[in-house]
Structure 1
Amino acid sequence: MPVARKQVGATGTQSVTISFAGFNRAWAVWIGDRLERRGVRVVHQRWDPQAGATLEDELRDLMLAPGRILVVLSDWYFQLGPRSHDEWNRALRTVVAPESERFAAVSVTTSALPGATSVFGAAELTNVGEEEAERRLLAHLDLPTDPLPRTDGGRPGARFPADTPEVWGGVPRRNTRFTGREGLLSEAYHALQSAGQGAGVVTLHGMSGVGKTQLAAEYVYRFGSDYDVVWWVPADRRALYRQRLAELAPELGLVTGAEYGERLRAVRDSLRRGRPHSHWLLILDGADEPDQIGDLVPTGPGHVLITSRNPEWREHNSHLVEVPVYDRGESVSFIRRRAPRLTHTEADQLANALEDLPLLLDQTAGWLNDSDMSVAEYIELLEGGIDQDVVKVSADFPLAFQTAWSILLNKLKETVPESVDLLRLCSFFAPGSIPVRLLREMPPGDLPEQLAGLMNDPLLWNKAIGQLRQYSVVRLESHESSVEEASSAGESVYLHRMVHKIVGTDMPARDRQEFIDVVRKALAAADPGRPIDAMYWPAYAEITPHLKWAEVLESRDPAVQALVLNCLRYMYFSGEYRAGIKLGERAMTAWRDLLGETHPRVWDLSYNYANLLRAVGDYAGTEAMERAVVDHLRTERGPQDLEHLRAANGLAADLRGLGRYDEALELSTWLLGAYREVLGDQDARTINAQNNLAISLRLLGRYEESLELNRRTLEARRQLLKARHGWTLFSEINYATDLRLLGRYNEAESLQAQSARVHRIALGEDTPQTLLAEYNLALCRYRSGDRGKAAAAFTRVLERGERVLGEHGPLTLMFAAGQSCFAREHGDIDQARTISDYVVNGYLMMLGESHPYVAGTRSNHALVLRNVGERDQAHQLMEQALTDMTRSVGENHPWTLGCAINASALRNLVGDPESAAALTELTVTRATEVLGRTHPLTLSARIAHAADLRGLRDRLRAEKVESEALGDLGSTLGPQHVHTVSARSRNRPFWDFEPQMI
């Protein structure tokens, strides 16, 4: 007959102590929430019996708690210790049965439990909905089950544990052997809960193999019910992280285009605003390079959990939780669950030999449980060895790892030898996430016999994968599907870096060559062949990390070599300059040795390598490289050879970078003619040459000619390419830039605003070209008078440029120059001075003393010095800038004319008004001739000249010049434009030097 139970609170004690295994925390929280709503005082007591104590004593200690004791029954509850079912049955009969009125229980598992648990008469909460589970819980405790009135403000309370968050993705399967770590889980939880909005970032930090990923996964399962969104992202590579984060967009219900750049922007904005979900948890797994992804860590009302070997995350506003190896008790408990045949003493001995490292314990105990080998024999092997030369793989690997791995590898060879072949194949990819689907997508004829069977037989494939998973050598990346589904679908597997480093040490030479050839072919077959198209950048982001490990630079296969070149192009267009330069440098060395100095592939490589070097400002280096190629190809193949023309195009860009604009114009003009003759007007390469000629014209101040060429280029690219193609968008930047430089500010802003929006959608927020588009938009808004929007845009672009491109890249220096000029007039003068000084020194180091960019930024810096009262220093620096600019680009160049306007103002300040007036008069004449009477620079010179005439007390001429200039300003820019209003108020105009793209 059923056991009679007292109603909770019937004797006046309104208390329930909930005893639960940490694994079942979510159930304990939900149960406590349901009871507290009924006025019950709840105490949570995590069940964690100590190894040295008897179960009877632990249960008696539990009875010291006030009120009823509600046990959350699960197989996990009875595994802690671990203890056998016999031990539990004795304890339950001895302690619980005589005190059955004190105990109650709910069951949250369908697994078999010790027979004596029947003493609890537990309420079954599995396989029912939330309302029925609550009814059963309350009825079991003799509490009213009628619905409560809504007096709690409508708060939702704890989530029912059987309900997953509304959005859930990428999370690994729960490790049912997870052991210990309770203190770390608690520390991470409280650190996130106590953090202010936008600051909820915790990093689980520790050495390889210590179990950081498993700890993060357990955190998700224990505390995931607190969140509406849980999203797991591999973060070992920036490009892959961006791709996976962008995939969250449709899960959040965000309406975006297909481009992942737009999706990424939408996701980050949604998380920051907390709409549609404010309770979100993002897990960044394997984020070992904070500098690479620190700028992409979302802010907002949610939480971010990071796993990393790098403690520098503390410098990125993250709370650091150090994850050590297991303590000995955790090691012993884990081993005994992984290998039940081992005694407590044997588990202790094994843990000591393996230095308590979780990954090694998991792999070793897994196969040792199936082996006839004793622990003593195994330890003897570790100490004396299969391999007498036992050394550390790296500083953070345990001494025993190499030998332990050798033993495990032998076990795999004996059971499923195909698993060893698969593992060795994986070792020629980069450690971490390995896209094994690329192998399975290969044509059967490209595979050696021993691998063809593995790849083409789903049963054999699944058996090999299953064996590797059984011993925790790999884990499946397709976490929501079954092993069979994931394997047959050709997903990815995760190979730990420790295993990756050791697996190939005893590989036969023949196997090694066969396996590496297979991986090379798989990577080449995965090449989309379109590195310029941002739609395919995620594919290249997945491929590029594996190039080094597959030793692709040693291959003579044309398809593999084409893959290398396409990856370099992708890195250039996407802004991955540093990684691209490393690859290009290694490729130049390897291919020159492999193919010879004059092989066509080497010319291809040098062109793409030079693009990357030029992107970071190494113009002198690229000029020497390109000139050697140009001279050789002209001699060997003739001037109209397409390889020669391409190299000459690069050389023209180098000349522009070096400030040798006349040479660049001459070469660019010849190139356009040559391309037209060889390929015709409508070929993409001819149009590119036309684009480059326009840039050369702009750098010489010939803005009208540049505008016309850029207009034709834009129209041609819109017809030939897609509207969102990167080159088409680049032409929009060029055309808008020319409009702005000609003073057609409204037209320029209208075009550039639309183009910047499309850039963000099509290319992503942080690519170099998008940053350039947004910078030009900031300049357009500044010139149009919208200073509020301009201020925010200047700051945002510079911050992102520094993070993405580095502090000393050409684009970053360009962005900094604009920010400094704006801050000088409308912001913080101290900030303007700091940035301006950094810009001048940056260009000096990159370009040398005689470059026009150095003269131009010195002119800007002189204006900063003037504003802080250092007049003499400002005057001297401005005169130097005017002299240097005149020598660099000539006396009629707009940059020289701008320096002259500034120099005349400073001559007035130091008491030389006659010289100032003479300079502005000459400047007006030259500017009118070069740019026209109503160009903004000419108008500034005319207003400045009027001011100088007033300084000489020549009032009649001053009023005449001023009146005519104000009339032209009103007609050209509008009577209410900021420049017109400023001039009408007799504020002397100044000129800002703007470094241009080359």
Structure 2
Amino acid sequence: MSGARTSVRPAEGEAGKQTVTISFAGFNRAWAAWIGDRLERRGLRVVYQRWDSPAEIPLVDSLRDLTLAQGRILVLVSEWYFQLGPRTHEEWNRALREVVAPDPSRFAAVSVTTAPVPAATAVLAPADLTNVGPDEAERRLLDRLDLRADPLPDGRGDDRRGPRFPALMPEVWGGVPRRNTRFTGRERLLNDAYHKLQEAPPGAGVLTFHGMSGVGKTQLAAEYVYRFGSEYDVVWWVSAENRVRYRRLLAELAPRLGLSTGAEYGERLRAVRDSLRRGEPYARWLLVLDGADEPGQLWNMVPTGPGHVLITSRNPEWSEHNSMLLEVPVYDRDESVAFIRRRAPRLTEAEADQLAEALEDLPLLLDQTAGWLNDSDLSVQEYIQLLEGGIDQDVVKVSADFPLAFQTAWSILLNKLRETVPESVDLLRLCTFFAPGSVPVHLLRELPQEELPEQLAGLLNDPLLWNKAINQLRQYSVVRLESHETSLDESGSAGESVYLHRMVHQIVHKDMPDADRREFVDVVRRALAAADPRRPADPDFWPAYAEITPHLKHADVLRTTDANVQRLVLNCLRYMYVSGEFASGITLGRRALKAWKQLLGETHPRIWSLTHHYANLLRAVGDYAATETLDRATVEHLRQERGPQDLDHLRAASGLAADLRGLGRYAEALEVSHWILAAYDELFGDQDARTLQARNNVAVSLRLLGRYAEALEADRVTLEARRRLLRGRHHLTLYSELHYATDLRLLGRYTEAESIQTTNVREHRNVLGSDNPQTLLAEHNLAHCHYRMGDRDSARQLFTRVLERCERKLGETHPFSLQFATSMSCFAREHGDIDEARALSESVIARYETLLPEGHPYICGIHSDHALILSKVGERAQAHDLAERALRDMTAAVGERHPWTLGCAVNASALRNLTGDHESAADLSRDTATRAIEVLGRTHPLTLSARTAYADDLRALRDRQQAEKVEQETLTDLEETLGRQHVHTISARSRVRPYWDFEPQVI
């Protein structure tokens, strides 16, 4: 419904039907929609007319214009109807007596409010629809219109889905702010938004309200929810200031949708997005992303499906991410005047106009100023003089977005707060040392009283004073209480959060005495440190860290020597690492390293812990050169200063070994890892957690060196010990189990590997969630197990899903994304789209060549994969050259006996055969098979591939007798090892030339 007079599309023959024109205030649109639907079901023709009463038109004239409407006029009586303009009750009483009283039969009315209305409304004889259910409300409506409440005619019953009864909430409702009962205007924007979303095709119903700070985007979105919410089954409001908070709050929708998931929010998030996409169990859903100013962080997390997404943002770049845009400007002047007069009834229309001009029609400023001005003896003229004179002539603009009057107006308001409840100013200043948006003030109240400065002890420990301060700030719209399920009631009890607008945050933070600044920031730092669960690797405590981390920057936690605060920083870095929030962690780690070196000195003990966490994060995204520089400097310094068995030295050396693995220097890494293991074993014994981690790292190096049987034994010992010490569902135990299953698969023990990995994936999802990087690794290994067992459909689904989720969470250049893309490319080459395979492969090559040093084994391996793709598309010469280059470079990188070199040789021999160089191909495949038998054993899958390739090359040389002998021996070993019906056996029996897929490993 728009502001213009509109009607529903009449059915054929409808012109003769009885017509009812519903006159309603925009605020009550949901009632109008429900009433109109009830009447249409009974065969009436309904015309909707949103009531507007411009101040410049006499009310009597507007009311007379209403009588020009068709049929009977049904007025929806509410305080909103009579406040538009705004109009006084006296004006309405006169107009109702003059226009309605002489012809009452033209009018009927229903009341949808319990608030006071003009006395002369009695002439409308409204039927009361409040505090009754839908059936009784419909009966009263029909009775007021003199319509019979007979059963509905066939075809007009409850099978037709219509608007929900407005007094009933949608079935799922959460996080929505309380309705602003002072909301004014914005009718065009609301109706434009409604029509844009309703007319959008399925999957494209995304709309962004964008505009500068303080313009009222959040209030507009909230009014949209209340005005149109009855048309949805699910309404869910999410604060989206940052990706971590958005993910957590959206995940909380899972149990409300009745989805069966684990407790971890990553798993819940996946289930929620899938449910919304499918529209099951609810297709009519509305999701609101409030304060989503960073589309680059959030766009790939916005659900699609049959429902609608409404975004509020200062950033118009949402248009680049498939969102429609509606710019929210400042108020029109008539809206400003109407709002001010409702907020400050003592002001005249002329005074409201002057005030609106002085405050540049900015809704936030109008709200805050008019609220206290109504309670003040100050005249509008005196206030405007204060604004023009400037209380603080030295004020500078906080932001290009902020009107200059805003700072001066805020100085006035702060003075008012100091005079009435000075503690409210202290609370407001405390809040500015948290991030703008949602402020977890409950953390402040959980501090021990003896740790609080005298100025704040009373505020934070006296519930009455706390409530008084909160209510004072709410009264003047400085903050609002959040109604999210994680907060409690309005009493100021522990657990609550308040919402602090970005503009308010910046101006209050700037306008603060230095003494208060030092004292208040210290309190907030200690509050954050006290909230530290001190268990960053435990997924049960990740929601607590997700609440804390957005506030670290604003609390300036890096500029204090408080040991508890510095421990909080280290724990947050660890949390960011294990939960996969690598980009945020790297930013924090880089800033912390710079600040702490200045604060503590280059060689302070805590610098080594910080360097360890920072290097872990850099290594996680593949920046191995940077981490090697960091770790090597640390190792050399600590070895010289403290000796080789110092714990910080051993930890740094362990990081250095990982860096060497990342750089492809596997033998060096193994040497370092061996002496670290020996040192820990000597210091703590073979069952200590540090010793077990060192043994795990030895196994990683062995696996990268192709020594799979040795890696399996090391992982077995570690896994059994971790099961005893940490239990089976600890994330480190699960990691060891993943490694063990990987070793089994690389050894060709596919059945065992698949059995263990299936269970391991299920436990990963339950404990860490589906989008955790470690879970993605587990699923990737399971995809390989399915593939090697011949279950291509399951493998395809897992390969695809894992790659999509990894790129979405970690980015396309993350080492895991490259690993998964390599596997997907190989699979697509054989069982999918060759063009997709080539595009993926070329992309991975480009990213590896940027990320890794020249001659790195991963570059060699992906070149070998790519050569097979080129041969598939007919580029045989290029394929042959690339395969030969890959073999030469891999041999130089890891030696001729490494399984990766043997695999490159299998592929190179195939390309030699394909290009007609049969003798050279046979020589290579014979040598490869011989070395493979020596290194891996005669029945390892790679050995069997090399033997099969050798038989093929012998046939090409027309040595059929020898070819037959080699082929039969190989088939016998295949059948005994993998079974007669295994895909590898069937391929060999069918004389399909084998190939080798390079698979990057974790480091």
Corresponding residue number in structure 1 for 2:430: 425
Residue 298 of structure 1, aligned match among 294, 303, 320: 303
Where do 1:275-424 residues align within 5 Å? Answer: 275-424=280-429
Q: Is the 8 A contact 2:197 2:206 kept in 1?
A: yes
Q: Using the alignment, how far apart are the partners of 1:356 and 1:968 within structure 2?
A: 84
Q: Is the 8 A contact 2:487 2:496 kept in 1?
A: no
- Tell me what 2:654 maps to: 649
Question: Does the CA-based 8 Å contact 2:78-2:113 persist in structure 1?
Answer: yes
Give the whole-Å Cα distance in 2 for the aligned partners of 1:481 and 1:683: 39
Q: Match for residue 22 of structure 1?
A: 26
Residue in structure 2 matched with residue 900 of structure 1 by the alignment: 905
Distance in 2 of aligned mates of 1:749 and 1:284: 41
SS of aligned partner of 1:723: coil
**1:382-439 C-alpha deviation (Å, 9 max, x unpaired):** 2231122343221222222111211111111111110000000001001110000000
Return closer, same or farther for 1:685/1:150 CA change in 2, 3 Å cut-off: farther
Residues 774 and 793, structure 1, Cα contact 8 Å, conserved in 2? yes
Letter in 2 for 1:151: G
Task: Return the match for 1:871 from 865, 869, 876.
Answer: 876
Aligned pairs (5 A) from 1:211-290: 211-290=216-295
Aligned equivalent of 2:38: 34
The residue number in structure 2 matching 1:135 is 139
Residues 538-578 of structure 1, C-alpha deviation per residue, up to 9 Å, x if partnerless? 11111011111111111111111100000000111111111
**Corresponding residue number in structure 1 for 2:179:** 174
Cα deviation, residue 483, structure 1: 9.5
CA distance in 1, matches of 2:712, 2:981: 27
TM-fit CA distance, 1:462: 0.8
How far does the alpha carbon of each residue in 1:74-97 deviate from its partner, in whole angstroms, 9 at most, with x for none? 011101000111111111111111
Report which stretch shifted further, 390-399 or 131-140. 390-399
Is 2:502 the partner of 1:497? yes
Query: Cα deviation per residue 1:862-906 (whole Å; 9 max; x = unaligned)?
Result: 111111111111111111111111011000000000001111111
Kindly indicate whether residue 96 of structure 2 is the aligned counterpart of residue 92 of structure 1: yes
**Partners of 1:426 and 1:434 within 8 A in 2:** yes
> Structure 2 matches for 1:719-734, cutoff 5 A?
719-734=724-739
Q: How does 1:620-631 map to 2 (within 5 A)?
A: 620-631=625-636
1:49: how far off?
Answer: 1.1
Q: Give the residue type in structure 1 aligned to 2:777.
A: L
How far apart are residue 596 of structure 1 and its match?
1.3
* Secondary structure, counterpart of 1:203 in structure 2: strand
SS across alignment from 1:487: coil
- Contact 1:260/1:762 (CA < 8 Å) preserved in 2? no
- For residues 479 and 570 of structure 1, do their structure 2 counterparts lie closer, same or farther at Cα, with a shift above 3 Å needed? closer
In percent, how many aligned pairs have the same letter? 74
Residues 479 and 914 of structure 1, relative CA distance in 2, 3 Å threshold: closer
What's the CA shift string for 1:68-122, capped at 9, x where partnerless? 1000000111010001111111111111111211001111111111111111111
Matched, 1:64 2:68: yes
Contact 1:260/1:535, CA 8 A, preserved across alignment: no
| Contact 2:663/2:853, CA 8 A, preserved across alignment | no
Mapped partners of 2:635, 2:580: distance in 1: 26
**Superposition deviation, residue 149 in structure 1:** 5.1
Contact 2:233 2:282 in 1 (8 A): yes
1:578-613: per-residue Cα shift (whole Å, max 9, x none)? 111111111111111111111111110000000011
Query: Secondary structure in 1 aligned to 2:981?
Result: coil
What is residue 887 of structure 1 aligned with on the other side?
Answer: 892
Preserved CA contact (<8 Å) 1:261 1:762: no
Is 1:640 equivalent to 2:645 in the alignment?
yes
Aligned partners of 2:631 and 2:595: how far apart in 1? 19
1:101 has 2:105 as partner = yes
Q: CA deviation at 1:718?
A: 1.9
Q: Structure 2 unaligned runs (5+)?
A: 1-12
Whether the 8 Å CA contact 1:201–1:303 is kept in 2: the answer is yes
- Asked whether 1:773 is paired with 2:778, we answer yes
Partner of 1:3: none
Secondary structure at 2:101 match in 1: helix
Q: Which residue number in structure 2 is paired with residue 692 of structure 1?
A: 697
Residues 36-60 of structure 1: CA deviation (Å, up to 9, x unaligned): 1221111111111112101111111
Q: Which residue of 1 aligns with 2:482?
A: 477
Say whether 1:115 aligns with 2:119: yes
Q: How many residues align?
A: 989
Q: Is residue 2:986 matched to residue 1:981?
A: yes
Calculate the aligned-residue CA RMSD, in Å. Answer: 1.7
Distance in 2, matches of 1:290 and 1:788, equals 35
Identify the range of structure 1 (417-426 vs 961-970) with the bigger mean alpha-carbon deviation: 961-970
**In 2, Cα distance between equivalents of 1:276 and 1:625:** 51
Q: Quick one: which amino acid aligns to residue 145 of structure 1? A: A
Q: 1:484-523 counterparts in 2 under 5 A? A: 485-523=490-528
- Deviation of 1:665 after TM superposition, in Å, equals 0.7
1:910 corresponds to which residue? 915
Do the aligned residues in 2 keep the contact of 1:619 with 1:657 (CA within 8 Å)? yes
2:611 equivalent in structure 1: 606
Q: Write out per-residue CA displacement over residues 734-771 of structure 1, whole angstroms, 9 at most, x where no aligned residue.
A: 11111111112222222222222322232222221122
SS of alignment partner, residue 503 of structure 1 = helix
Distance of aligned partners of 1:491 and 1:384 in 2 relative to their CA distance in 1, 3 Å threshold: same
- Alpha-carbon distance in 2 for matches of 1:673, 1:842: 37
Identify which range, 939-948 or 161-170, moves more after superposition.
161-170
More off after superposition, 245-254 vs 182-191:
245-254
Q: Does structure 2 retain, via aligned residues, the 8 Å contact 1:15–1:43?
A: yes
Partner Cα separation in structure 1 for residue 279 and residue 729 of structure 2:
30
What is the alpha-carbon distance in structure 1 between the residues aligned to residue 385 and residue 197 of structure 2? 45
SS in 1 for 2:561: coil
What secondary structure sits across from 1:202 in the alignment?
strand
> Are 1:575 and 2:575 an aligned pair?
no
User: What are the ranges of 5 or more consecutive residues in structure 1 without an aligned counterpart?
Assistant: 1-8
For 1:816-831, list aligned pairs within 5 A.
Answer: 816-831=821-836
Question: Aligned partners of 1:402, 1:537: CA distance in 2, in Å?
Answer: 38
Query: What residue is the counterpart of 2:543 in the other structure?
Result: 538
Q: Which amino acid aligns with 1:85?
A: H
Aligned partner of 2:525: which letter? Answer: R
Could you tell me how far apart the structure 2 residues matched to 1:560 and 1:603 are? 16
Amino acid in the other structure paired with 1:32: G
**What is the alpha-carbon distance in structure 1 between the residues aligned to residue 487 and residue 774 of structure 2?**
42
1:233-262 deviations in Å (ceiling 9; x for gaps): 111122222221222222223333333333
Which residue is 1:147 aligned to? 151
**Conserved in 1, the CA contact under 8 Å of 2:489 and 2:496?**
no
1:666 equivalent among 660, 667, 671 = 671
Corresponding residue for 2:215? 210
Tell me how far apart the structure 2 counterparts of residues 339 and 672 of structure 1 sit (CA, whole Å). 74
Residues 469-502 of structure 1: CA distance to partner in whole angstroms, max 9, x if unpaired? 1111111013689996441244000111111111
Distance 1:711 1:492 in 2: 48
What SS is found at the alignment partner of 1:307? strand
Match among 939, 944, 953 for residue 939 of structure 1 = 944
1:165 aligns with 2:183: no
Q: Secondary structure at the match of 2:629?
A: helix
Cα separation, 2, equivalents of 1:484 and 1:841? 55
Cα separation, 2, equivalents of 1:411 and 1:991: 77
Q: How does 1:450-469 map to 2 (within 5 A)?
A: 450-469=455-474
C-alpha distance in 2 between matches for 1:910 and 1:252 = 60
